[in-house]
Amino acid sequence: MTELWLVFAGLSLVAIMIIFFPLIKPRNTEINLGDKQQNIDIFKQRLAELEQEKSQGNLDDNTFLQLKAELEKSLLTDVSTNSETTLKNVSIKSSHWAISTVISLLVVGVSLGFYFKLGRSDDFALSLTMNAQAASTQTTATDKKPAPSFEKIIVMLEEKLQKNPADLEKWFLLANTYSAIGKFDKAAQAYASAIKQMPKDDPTLAAVTGSYAQMLFQAAGEIITPETKKAMQAALTLDPLESSALIIKGIDAYSTGDLKGAVKEWEKAKIKASLHLLSSFIEPVLAQTRAKLGESPIKPKPVDTATAKIEIKLDISADLKAKTKAEDIVFVFAQKIGGRMPLAAERLQVKDLPKTIILDDTKSPMPSAKLSSVEFVDITARVSFAGHPKATKGDLFITTKKVAVTGSSPINMMINQTVE
């Protein structure tokens, strides 16, 4: 970062020197723009050439004298019509210095403005560090020592949050980073700080509170403390199907010997749990608990990938279309009920509407999260004025809940709502 600012300062200094150079350059000479001397020099050069031709025997005396006379006549004509212009020194006034100073300030100010608006090098560096760390997670997971890049991320995030404590995304990223290196108490503190900043009607508050309960549970050595139970109940009050809170509630029931109660809670947790959480914890623990109860394991109903297909007839209401441009981006995506990760997605433009689109496994952003992995999905179509999938205030949208992945009739979706 220091190197970047040094380069910026150097380039700015060069630009300022270029602006002020005409004011500080010595001006002790006058510039003569006349061409009289140039015409005389040309005459002498041509005359020398004629004399050389004569001495070599290529011209006789009469021809030489004739050509010489024409040259002299031409010179007289050029000299008589020649006009000379002399540029005299212009005195440097205080107004010149003032104008140059204003231009210099504008150059530096505009450059800084573009940097802070478009550059965001620290955020970009943070993104690159996170991507690099994600690629090496498996190799560092077996090593008890945290990777240096995680520590760098933490320092960057904490510095940013000191300046802007209301930045929820940074709090979430800080909590996830602490969790990744096993500092669950710090992760819990980050989630608690985020919860304080969140509006009470924020639709993600339940999930964040559930994550907070999970970090408290792990920080206590996977023991359910009164503080953990309080956070768990708060999450379930906001959303009775919050997966992290339901998992902890199931663990609480299991620890007291209530195996059937644990199975009941974990089955509910499956509704909104991520695919990774399902495969890594919920399904295995359900199978083990059912085995203890003497029950046969319940295999999830497979979905035929060939028939996992949803046909959507998409359009936008006339009054909202009048607020858009033809090139505005439209995102259409299917998500697991209560989930966040798109299982299938399509991107188009407002000018393409109305249009019939098909969502299937070929439209999945990730091979591990396909439409055929679930039975029902929620489908959202959104006009994004910012051009990215994340919803922002003023975007236009429509959501259709609980659509069957197979065997469903074509659905009509009319974009007719505005993100508040």
CA proximity to 216, closest of 241, 184, 193: 184
Position 22 scores a pLDDT of 67
Query: What residue ranges in 284-336 does DSSP mark as E strands?
Result: 309-316, 329-336
- Cβ–Cβ < 8 Å for 20, 104: yes
Position 15 scores a pLDDT of 72
Q: What is the pTM of this model?
A: 0.48
Q: Beta partners for 357?
A: 312
Taking the C-alpha atoms of residue 286 and residue 279, their distance in angstroms, rounded to an integer, is: 11
DSSP type of residue 90: P
Taking the C-alpha atoms of residue 149 and residue 140, their distance in angstroms, rounded to an integer, is: 11
Position 139 scores a pLDDT of 42
Position 130 scores a pLDDT of 45
Position 177 scores a pLDDT of 85
Q: What is the mean pLDDT of each run of 10 residues along the chain (420 residues)?
A: 61 72 58 58 74 72 72 64 53 65 72 57 45 44 49 84 87 85 90 90 87 92 92 93 92 92 90 75 88 74 67 93 92 83 88 92 74 86 86 90 87 92
- Cβ–Cβ < 8 Å for 233, 199: no
**Looking at domain 145-292, what is its CATH homologous superfamily?**
Tetratricopeptide repeat domain (1.25.40.10)
- Cβ–Cβ < 8 Å for 216, 231: yes
Query: What residue ranges in 201-354 does DSSP mark as E strands?
Result: 309-316, 329-336, 342-349
Position 143 scores a pLDDT of 46
Position 260 scores a pLDDT of 92
What's the one-letter identity of residue 301? K
